[in-house]
């Protein structure tokens, strides 16, 4: 999560990671607690209309997604299991954030239209991640695209925060933009994999 910010995370969050290691906390525990925090924060706060408050809660627990990786590096326990747990937990956290926004549109805006657009953003976002995971499991490179996971998370949280402090229509714009850009990203990644597959078939012919 938020891969582009991992460069400074080692400096800023390193002391916290080292403290947790000294306390005997497992990176897996940090991953699980962080995911539960994101899920509960998003699904409790957003449907109630507590948008900026929900964003703050979610962001606090999102940070744990960077801390657990630092802890694994410090302790030398980085493993495929840890990577699997982290990635799997990310999917649940994403679903909770978009699901919370969807429920906000249903219960606070009484808009099935915007709830549907939020659902489209969730579906295409999850599809984007699945395309990448499936492609890499088959040996293809599958990166980039118009809206990677970090971009989607930042856009939806910034949109929710600004909406929560009174900026009109910004959340609607963010959700619509994510639905469209996520769909485009899926197509870009499928095309990327298709190109590699065709090249591999040509070499083996």
Residue 87 to residue 66: CA distance in whole angstroms:
12
Q: What share of the chain is helix, strand, coil (3-state, %, to 5)?
A: 85, 0, 15
Residue 6 has pLDDT above 90, yes or no: no
Enter the pTM of the model: 0.88
For residues 195 and 140, what is the distance between their CA atoms, to the nearest angstrom? 10
Would you call 90 a catalytic residue per the annotation? yes
Residue 77 confidence (pLDDT): 81
How many angstroms separate the CA atoms of 199 and 141, rounded? 13
The whole-chain average pLDDT of the chain stands at 90
**Residue 168 structure tokens:** 């009109």
d(CA 49, CA 86): 29
* Residue 38: HSE in the Cβ half-sphere, 13 Å Cα cutoff: 26
Please give the pLDDT value at position 182: 93
Taken in order of first residue, the domains within the chain and their CATH numbers are: 3-204 (1.20.120.1760)
**Mean pLDDT over residues 167-178, rounded?**
96
Tell me what pLDDT residue 202 has: 87
pLDDT at 2: 47
Predicted pLDDT of residue 44: 97
Task: Report whether pLDDT(125) > 60.
Answer: yes
pLDDT band at 175, cuts 50/70/90?
Answer: very high
Q: pLDDT tens, 140-171?
A: 998 878 888 888 999 999 999 999 999 999 99
Per-residue pLDDT of 43-89, as tens digits, reads 999 999 999 999 999 999 988 778 888 888 888 888 888 888 988 99
Contact 104, 161 (CB under 8 A): no
- For residue 203, the model assigns a pLDDT of 85
Query: Of 65, 68, 90, 94, which is the active-site residue?
Result: 90
């Amino acid at each position: 999560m938020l891969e582009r910010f991992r460069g400074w995370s080692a400096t800023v969050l390193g002391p916290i990671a080292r403290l947790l290691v000294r306390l005997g906390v497992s990176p897996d525990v940090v991953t699980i607690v962080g995911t539960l925090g994101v899920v509960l924060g998003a699904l409790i706060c957003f449907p109630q209309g507590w948008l900026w408050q929900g964003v703050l809660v979610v962001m606090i627990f999102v940070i744990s997604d960077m801390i657990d990786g630092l802890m694994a590096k410090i302790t030398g326990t980085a493993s495929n299991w840890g990577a699997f747990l982290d990635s799997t937990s990310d999917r649940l956290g994403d679903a909770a954030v978009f699901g919370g926004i969807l429920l906000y549109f249903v219960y606070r805006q009484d808009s099935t239209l915007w709830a549907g657009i939020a659902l489209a953003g969730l579906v295409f976002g999850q599809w984007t991640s699945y395309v990448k995971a499936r492609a890499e499991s088959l040996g293809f490179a599958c990166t980039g695209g118009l809206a990677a996971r970090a971009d989607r998370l930042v856009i939806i949280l910034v949109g929710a925060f600004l909406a929560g402090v009174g900026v009109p229509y910004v959340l609607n714009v963010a959700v619509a933009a994510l639905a469209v850009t996520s769909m485009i990203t899926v197509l870009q990644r499928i095309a990327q994999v298709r190109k590699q597959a065709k090249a591999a078939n040509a070499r083996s012919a």
